[in-house]
Amino acid sequence: MTKMQRVLVAGPMLAFLIAAGGRSLGASAANNTGDERNNKGQPSTLPLNSLDGLEVQSIREDGVDPVKTKADVATYRGRRAVRIVNDDGLTAAGTPAGAQAIAIVKTSDFKDGTIEADVVGLPREGAPSTTKGFVGIAFHVQDQGSRYESIYLRMLNARDDDQMQRNHSTQYVEQPDFPWKRLREENPGVYESYVDLDPGAWTHIKIAVAGTKARLYVNGAAQPCLIVNDLKLGESHGELALWTGSNSEAYFSTLTVKQTPIKR
């Protein structure tokens, strides 16, 4: 059974303002007015130079000891960013335990549209050699973080000498019912793919969601590197979150969200 630990609630639960224009990143579905619905076609940007309004949680899939998760603001390659370090240790067999950490944007509510961010994923200091630098975005976050969908990168896989490892550079999952292992066993190669990544470099990702489909674009590419045709939560909505995988040190900068306008 999954065990979730709420690690940190940083700052008051106030709406984020976009850098130019003053609109909030998101408003709760229950409080949306007609004017807010009309604004959903406009992009909203969160610079991610503060922890204000982020709620950091960690999840251990095996339901045992809680994950050691650290969240702060740091400078990486000249850019201020939110940093999340996930230290989930090892299982009794000496392998990574498969923990995840998410930083929920508390004012967000997302259904369809695009999510963009600049990210970096590295093995944390002292991580096992199998750690690949897992970093991505979670969306449709529900039930206080216990259920969500995520698309993420395995940064170090992209330039591995083993082609099979390269083929695991991107990944879609749904927590808790469709983790990567189940998806790979039941549908090999369908929910992950290869994309070239420069380990340690700032990487731009864009996730486009429409109904039950999602596409991942990396570094401004015109074509997606991963296509998901059957999102496991269906046509759903929920909060957005920064996502970090097992034993990884992840950096996040400039989250931009553009929601698809509601048709009347």
Strand, coil or helix: 33: coil
Question: Contact, 170 vs 206, CB < 8 A?
Answer: no
Looking at every residue in the chain, the average pLDDT score rounds to 85
pLDDT value for 94? 54
Report the pLDDT value the prediction gives residue 61, as an integer from 0 to 100.
Answer: 66
Residue 35, pLDDT score: 43
HEC string of 215-244 equals EEEECCCCCCCEEECCCCCCCCCEEEEEEE
Instruction: Give the pLDDT mean for 246-252.
Output: 95
Q: In this predicted structure, what is the pLDDT of residue 9?
A: 38
> What is the per-residue pLDDT across 64-117, written as a single tens digit (0 to 9) for each?
556 789 999 999 999 999 999 998 765 555 555 568 999 999 989 999 999 999
pTM, rounded to two decimals: 0.85
Higher-pLDDT residue of 21 and 170 is 170
Cα separation, 150 vs 142, whole angstroms = 12
Q: What is the pLDDT of residue 4?
A: 58
DSSP 8-state code for residue 31? G
